């Protein structure tokens, strides 16, 4: 599948350790990665605790909420 054909319904989203990754639901290929906070920053990184509270898909928008804010990807 080419990137021009990729739709939000073709993706699976995973969030952990200050990252959100999108994977192709059919072949498992990583499509993109988004980092909220630089690696090694802060208390949560030292404890290896995920900074994200929630990842929610709203139609064509991925909303990510964490200790540092809320982002719409």
Looking at residue 64, what is its pLDDT?
85
Looking at residue 55, what is its pLDDT?
86
Q: Provide the domain limits for residue 60.
A: 3-72
Looking at the 3D structure of the chain, how many domains does it have? 1
Q: What is the pTM of this model?
A: 0.65
Confidence of residue 52 (pLDDT cuts 50, 70, 90): low
Check whether 58 has a pLDDT greater than 60: yes
How far from 58 is each of 32, 41, 54, CA to CA, in Å? 18, 29, 12
pLDDT greater at residue 64 or residue 18? 64
Rounded Cα distance between 71 and 65, Å, is 6
- CATH number for position 51: 2.40.10
Looking at residue 50, what is its pLDDT?
54
């Amino acid at each position: 599948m080419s990137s021009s054909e990729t739709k939000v319904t073709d993706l699976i989203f995973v969030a952990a350790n200050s990252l959100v990754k999108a994977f192709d639901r059919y072949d498992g290929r990583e499509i993109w990665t988004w980092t909220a906070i630089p690696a090694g920053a802060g208390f949560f990184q030292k404890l290896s605790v995920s900074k994200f509270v929630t990842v929610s898909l709203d139609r064509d928008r991925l909303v990510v909420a964490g200790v540092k804010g809320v982002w719409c990807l």
